[in-house]
Amino acid sequence: MRRLGSTHVNSWGATASSISLLRPERPSRPVSVPSQPQALTFDLARTAIIVIDMQNDFCHPDGWLASIGVDITAARRPIDPLKTLLPALRKHDVPVIWLNWGNRPDRLNLPPSVLHVYDPAGEDKGIGAAIGSTDRKVLEDGSWNAAIIDELEVDPEDIHISKYRMSGFWDTPLEAILKNLRVDTLLFSGVNSDQCVLSTLTDAGCLGYDCILLDDCSATTSPDFCQDATVYNVRQCYGFVASGSDLAKNLIR
């Protein structure tokens, strides 16, 4: 019997004369970590990590945020914890999903409300604007600006999704991909924790996913109280807050 599906875990059994809708069984692979508001155990076999917006425009000294005077020190804090955690997760076959801004060059799928966030006076200084040269366009799909920073190694098996809103669930294939991966638990990391990370996490919680914010693997260039409020709201309303470093230690043992 052959398997019919884009992933093994969400595939049918198929022959010329019959179809089996029974999906392959997956043994549980539990792992425990300290977390808030309670200690947490989850199943690595039903887990994926979403890494949000660790891109040159947000995290590189020559990127967009730095060019407009934003201190990107905080945006670079997740780099070292992720450099340790991501390889450990891959060794346990946990899918790594890179969820990044990657806009159309013509910006036809972006409403004024999205453009206004980054260009409030309409001066063409936000998404799609050129930085220094015509081939350096802010968060444009395929550009250096939208690329993942070099410090984070990308594996050929990793999954890449472009997004066009604060939440990665709008106008993207993220939910369809998660269904084909047959995951229940999502680890959240990246920048900015109070904006795109929280927006995506909130939507995931509303869709019924188990949500874990990795506080050392996420950060924001916003004032400190924004990070504090994000951590409070996640543990109070949407899921759990844990340390990616604690998780990595438990995976590497």
Output the tens digit of pLDDT for each of the chain's 253 residues. 999 999 999 999 999 999 999 999 999 999 999 999 999 999 999 999 999 999 999 999 999 999 999 999 999 999 999 999 999 999 999 999 999 999 999 999 999 999 999 899 999 889 999 987 777 899 999 999 999 999 999 999 999 999 999 999 999 999 999 999 999 999 999 999 999 999 999 999 999 999 999 999 999 999 999 999 999 999 999 999 999 999 999 998 7
220 vs 215: CA distance, rounded Å: 11
Closest by alpha carbon to 235, among 221, 214, 218, 253?
A: 214
**Cα 252–chain centre separation:** 22
Predicted local distance difference test score (pLDDT) of residue 131? 86
Helices (H), the chain: 56-59, 64-67, 79-91, 112-118, 174-181, 198-206, 224-233, 244-252
70 vs 68: CA distance, rounded Å: 6
Predicted local distance difference test score (pLDDT) of residue 132? 76
What is each CA distance from 252 to 86, 190, 248, 249, in whole angstroms?
11, 22, 6, 5
Predicted local distance difference test score (pLDDT) of residue 135? 77
What CATH number should be reported for the domain whose range is 27-252? 3.40.50.850
Q: What's 6's DSSP letter? A: S
Predicted local distance difference test score (pLDDT) of residue 144? 95
Predicted local distance difference test score (pLDDT) of residue 79? 98
Contact 78, 238 (CB under 8 A): no
Query: pTM value?
Result: 0.96
* Max CA separation in the chain (angstroms): 65
127 vs 65: CA distance, rounded Å: 11
Residue type, 221: T
237 vs 219: CA distance, rounded Å: 19
Based on its alpha-carbon atoms, the radius of gyration of the chain, rounded to whole angstroms, reads: 19
Q: Is 16 exposed, middle or buried (0-12, 13-18, 19+ CB in 10 A)?
A: exposed
